[in-house]
Structure 1
Amino acid sequence: MRYAQENAFVLHARPWRETSLLLELLTAQHGRIGMLARGVTGPRRQLLRAALQPLQWIRFDAVQRGELAQLASAEAFDAAPRLVGDAAMAAFYLNELTLRLAPRHDPQPDLFAAYARARERLRAADPLAWTLRRYERDLLDALGLGFDFSADSDGVPIDPAARYRLDPEHGLRRVLTDRGAADRNDAPTGRAVLSLAGDEMPAQGDLASLRRAMRRVLEHHVGPRGLTSWQMLGELSRVVASGQSPGN
């Protein structure tokens, strides 16, 4: 199979042998593609190597003869967002989550569009938590794993004042008022759920409860190995809580 002038986002790139890269790309028409880019580390290939870094939007030609496609040519479609600190970590998380959940060689036009939107929100320095929650929602929807946010698992319309647990297999389940405080705090309000569905940023407390709820859903789909980005964020949180510098 030949890919000609195909658009893709670079999700991951790592060195292979001395002069090559192993890539993971997200395309609209062919889903996730694993690719080998040979001979891209020499001094005359700096522009090509720069175009093959994570978060970059590229146009490429390649040939698929086995599990990995062979890159023939590539050029940057635009300049990737320049991110540092928390924004860089958020981009790493987006790429890792997409890499783990998006299947190979399965057309994903909706996911490609969602990734493009999230990438531009990172560039524009939109609120990171809200950018991530919207991308998680859109990724699950694109993969057929999303939720009906209009009603709970019993078909009852969402009550803004109630709290709901996001069950990855059964949908939204209303949390009983006599459950423990921890159970209620980890369950977003109906108001938060409706805000996510309507693409309207909720209040800070509701946004935090959505993060915890979406995390449980994603853990179910990612599996017990989890994500490296979750481990890194957990370690950073522990360091900050202890009052140490991140380098200690």
Structure 2
Amino acid sequence: MILPYPFPLDIQSILNNKNIFRRPPTRFGKMHHTITHPFHTPDQLPMTNQRINHEPVFLLASAPWRESSLWVEVFSRRYGRVALLARSARKRQSELRGVLVPFVPVSASWYGSQELKTLHRAEWIGGWPQPQGRALFSGLYINELMLKLTTREDPIPELYDALEAVMRAVCGENSHTAALRRFEWTLLNRLGFAPDLFHDGNDEAIRAEETYWLTPENAVVPIEEAERFNPRNHGVAVGGNILIQLREGDFTHPESLGQSLKITRLLIDNLLPEGIKSRQVLQQLQQFSFGV
């Protein structure tokens, strides 16, 4: 059966909202990236007419479109995030039913000259079982980050590879915490939203034995220089050894996992002040389950 996106992401309300959400370029100087609203109207960006065949993609979200179709957002390896119109996908006899599901790779073919392309074929190419329980919310969280932080038609092959790796871990491993942290850092780094963890704000190499102050919109500085920032400018104190482990993707130590969570959450929450819906729903369910 076809799965319009599960409840933690209210895609229909996003689709109905015509406002475009933009942010200024990152201050870290790696990329000048603009966040735009996940769903634009089809005529906003002129695109060249091309036909794409058998491109591996992950479904990020879908919403009903008109009487029987679906508007889907996918992330592909060679073309980045793409908006596709799956005509008649909600009809009982549609070949797309059961294929357009999240969390597993799908082979998609599409064509079109506008930002909203037409999906003309999709095939399941094998993968792994759908996530269950808490892992389901991890998958929703990953897709929500991809939908909100990436821009259309911006190919980042390394990000697709990271998405594939984390989905494989979420769906197939009992513990996927390290995989989530690694994905978050790859996402932030590739999009230009991550600070430089090789050098501090004084252009000195990060040293394992030092302690640093990290904020969302400034370079990392030695802890003794933290007082120069506005007290309301939130940040975290973190050891240089943790910063080195984070930049190298080393999450073998429990301390590095815990500190990395604080860092990535600080950066992501700064980018998405409206909050992350999948996280909010999980917290509500946990409160309901335990009567807290």
Per the TM superposition, whether the score is higher than 0.5 is yes
C-alpha distance 186-147 of structure 1, shift in aligned 2 (>3 A): closer
Counterpart Cα distance in 2 of 1:152 and 1:127? 33
State whether residues 187 and 209 of structure 1, in contact with CA within 8 Å, keep that contact through their aligned partners in structure 2: no
Counterpart Cα distance in 2 of 1:5 and 1:159? 46
State whether residues 12 and 54 of structure 1, in contact with CA within 8 Å, keep that contact through their aligned partners in structure 2: yes
State whether residues 10 and 52 of structure 1, in contact with CA within 8 Å, keep that contact through their aligned partners in structure 2: yes
State whether residues 216 and 235 of structure 2, in contact with CA within 8 Å, keep that contact through their aligned partners in structure 1: no
Deviations 1:80-131 (A, max 9, x none): 4321122111111110001111110111111111111111222331633211
Give the secondary-structure state (helix, strand or coil) at the position aligned to 2:262.
helix
1:90 matches 2:138: yes
1:229 matches 2:292: no
State whether residues 213 and 235 of structure 2, in contact with CA within 8 Å, keep that contact through their aligned partners in structure 1: no
1:34 matches 2:86: no
Q: Which residue of 2 aligns with 1:8?
A: 57
Q: Which residue of 1 aligns with 2:291?
A: 244
C-alpha distance 185-205 of structure 1, shift in aligned 2 (>3 A): farther
Quote the offset at 1:7 in angstroms. Answer: 1.8
Amino acid at match of 1:31: G
Larger RCO, structures 1/2 (Cα 8 Å, 6+ apart): 2
1:213 matches 2:268: no
State whether residues 175 and 187 of structure 1, in contact with CA within 8 Å, keep that contact through their aligned partners in structure 2: yes
Q: TM-score, normalised by structure 1?
A: 0.84
C-alpha distance 110-188 of structure 1, shift in aligned 2 (>3 A): same
Amino acid at match of 1:218: I
Counterpart Cα distance in 2 of 1:163 and 1:95? 33
State whether residues 81 and 153 of structure 2, in contact with CA within 8 Å, keep that contact through their aligned partners in structure 1: yes
Quote the offset at 1:71 in angstroms. Answer: 0.9
Aligned-residue Cα RMSD (Å) equals 2.7
Give the secondary-structure state (helix, strand or coil) at the position aligned to 2:82.
strand
1:193 matches 2:248: no
Q: Unmatched 5+ residue regions in structure 1?
A: none
Quote the offset at 1:44 in angstroms. Answer: 2.6
Counterpart Cα distance in 2 of 1:11 and 1:67? 17
Structure 2 counterpart of 1:19, from 60, 68, 74: 68
1:164 matches 2:249: no
Q: Which residue of 2 aligns with 1:131?
A: 179
Deviations 1:29-68 (A, max 9, x none): 21111111111223333x5222211123111221223231
Quote the offset at 1:17 in angstroms. Answer: 3.4
Amino acid at match of 2:291: Q
C-alpha distance 186-84 of structure 1, shift in aligned 2 (>3 A): farther
Structure 2 counterpart of 1:204, from 228, 237, 254: 254
Give the secondary-structure state (helix, strand or coil) at the position aligned to 2:111.
strand
Quote the offset at 1:238 in angstroms. Answer: 4.7
Amino acid at match of 1:78: G
State whether residues 163 and 184 of structure 1, in contact with CA within 8 Å, keep that contact through their aligned partners in structure 2: no
How many percent of aligned residue pairs carry the same amino acid?
A: 28
Deviates more, 1:115-124 or 1:184-193: 184-193
Q: Which residue of 2 aligns with 1:54?
A: 102
State whether residues 128 and 172 of structure 2, in contact with CA within 8 Å, keep that contact through their aligned partners in structure 1: no
Counterpart Cα distance in 1 of 2:142 and 2:190? 15
Q: TM-score, normalised by structure 2?
A: 0.72
Alignment size in residue pairs: 238
Counterpart Cα distance in 2 of 1:29 and 1:36? 19
Amino acid at match of 2:88: G
1:173 matches 2:218: no
Quote the offset at 1:159 in angstroms. Answer: 3.0
As a proportion of its length, which structure holds more helix?
Answer: 1
